[in-house]
Amino acid sequence: MCKREKLEDKYFLLNFDHTFLAASLQEEALLFGADSHAPFLSNTVRQFQAFKPDFTLNHPLDHLSGGENAILAVIFYSALVLHKKKPLHFLLQNILESLSTSNRHALIILLTEYQQQAISYHLLSNNEVISINE
Amino acid sequence: MNSLLQIKPGKLKLKNRPFIFQLDQPLKIASDSGKILLLIKGDNGSGKTTFLEQVIIPHLKQNNILFLFKGQDNHIQSIIDRSLEAIFSISHSGKNLISQVFFNAPAKHPAKKITTPTAEVLLMDETDKLLSSSEFDDIIKNPDYKLLILISHNLDNPEFQQHFNLFPRKYSLTIAGQSAVRTASFTKC
């Protein structure tokens, strides 16, 4: 556990209140130079369908609930990081706190899989940073 | 005892949503001398916020029950608060997390500062996740409101359970399902 200020420059802060820029996942991927046929995008959709079965690539993001939006953001950005092959430390703020118990467990299982692939996740809680493995 | 909520059971139709709610029994809460808690729970995407926005808030408006609403997205809520503060000169209480915007409040002279009356109902959409234990305790001990309606995923957190237990009367509303008909089950705890 350590203070947030010491880590800010090394982390990608994913906050519940600030997730996507674009209106759909497909458009969000375009912003990062990925086309709609990129395998990481179809993986993202497939993984998120475990939480929301009727989700598609063009689903309007503002039709998702707050918690669904938070889950999708974590999955999408994790998959994007692997696609870009650039390791990254994630700082999750109010993401897991926004999920039901079953969804929180399901997402942590997914994050554990991503964590083995050069991504690390940490939780920001009351301005302290906690590793998800602690 | 005054009625704070009295919503009939059955199908509850919604605007701009591909689903409806099926309320299993009357959602009836009357006020007395003690504080009351209504917890709304359910999976992500089940429709908890929609129930608040399209069932509970219209009911409160229709019955002229003064309420205070803190939305789920802190960023958007801050923008709304700032805009309303600029437009109506509504003052903040000093607590950044609780909007001092009262709905159904008499506002004859919007250019002047409004003396805010006591809200009977406080609506919090997952706001508990933004609060420390002591901040949440302050809200619970605030004598002004009668009913706290809280959407929360903190129900299995022992620290928050202690707070919930401070309410003499507790109810829960569980929203379930992902289909075109979502069940809303109301129970007294």
A17 → closest Cβ in B74, B132, B153 = B74
Amino acid at B59: H
Cα A96 vs. chain centroid, distance in angstroms? Answer: 10
Question: What range defines the domain where residue B76 resides?
Answer: 2-188
**Long-range Cβ contacts of A39-48 (<8 Å, 24+ apart):** A40/A79, A40/A80, A40/A82, A40/A83, A41/A79, A43/A79, A44/A72, A44/A75, A44/A76, A44/A79, A47/A75, A47/A79, A47/A110, A48/A72, A48/A75, A48/A76
Q: What's the pLDDT score for residue A4?
A: 57
* ipTM of the complex in this document: 0.78
| Residue B54 contacts residue B17 (beta carbons within 8 Å) | yes
Chain B neighbors of A65, CB-CB under 8 A: 44-49
- Distance from B37 to chain A by nearest Cα, in Å? 19
Instruction: Say if the Cβ atoms of A17 and B130 lie within 8 Å.
Output: no
Q: What's the pLDDT score for residue B110?
A: 40
Pick the CATH number of A2-131 from 3.30.980.10, 3.40.50.300, 3.10.110.10, 3.30.43.10: 3.40.50.300
Question: Residue B140's closest CA among B115, B177, B165?
Answer: B165
Q: What's the pLDDT score for residue B81?
A: 67
Instruction: Say if the Cβ atoms of A100 and B44 lie within 8 Å.
Output: yes
Instruction: Say if the Cβ atoms of A99 and B72 lie within 8 Å.
Output: no
Chain A neighbors of B49, CB-CB under 8 A: 65-66
How does pLDDT run across B5-14, given as a tens digit for each residue? Answer: 999 999 999 9
pLDDT level of residue B86 (50, 70, 90 thresholds): low
How does pLDDT run across B145-181, given as a tens digit for each residue? Answer: 899 999 998 887 787 888 888 899 999 999 999 899 9
pLDDT level of residue B27 (50, 70, 90 thresholds): very high
DSSP string covering B50-69, please?
HHIIIIIHHHHHHTT--EEE
pLDDT level of residue B24 (50, 70, 90 thresholds): very high
Q: Which helix (H) or strand (E) holds B171?
A: strand B169-176
DSSP string covering A43-65, please?
HHHHHHHTT-TT--TT--GGGS-
Average pLDDT on B57-72 reads: 88
Average pLDDT on B75-94 reads: 60
How does pLDDT run across A78-132, given as a tens digit for each residue? Answer: 999 988 888 888 999 889 889 998 999 999 999 988 888 878 888 876 556 666 6
Rounded percentage of chain B residues whose pLDDT exceeds 70: 78
How does pLDDT run across B88-146, given as a tens digit for each residue? Answer: 544 444 333 333 444 444 444 443 344 445 678 989 998 888 777 888 888 888 887 89
**What is the interface size between A and B, counted as CB pairs within 8 Å?**
55
Residue linked to tokens 């704070």? B4
Distance CA A42, CA A54 (A): 14
Chain A interface disruption, residue of B40, B44, B154, most A CBs within 10 A: B44
| Residue B23 contacts residue B177 (beta carbons within 8 Å) | no
Residue linked to tokens 């309007």? A60
pLDDT above 90 (res B1):
no
Q: What interhelical angle do A66-84 and A39-49 show, nearest 10?
A: 150
- Distance from B101 to chain A by nearest Cα, in Å? 20
DSSP string covering A109-122, please?
HHHHHHHTTTEEEE
Domain count, chain B: 1
Q: What is the CATH number of the domain that holds B95?
A: 3.40.50
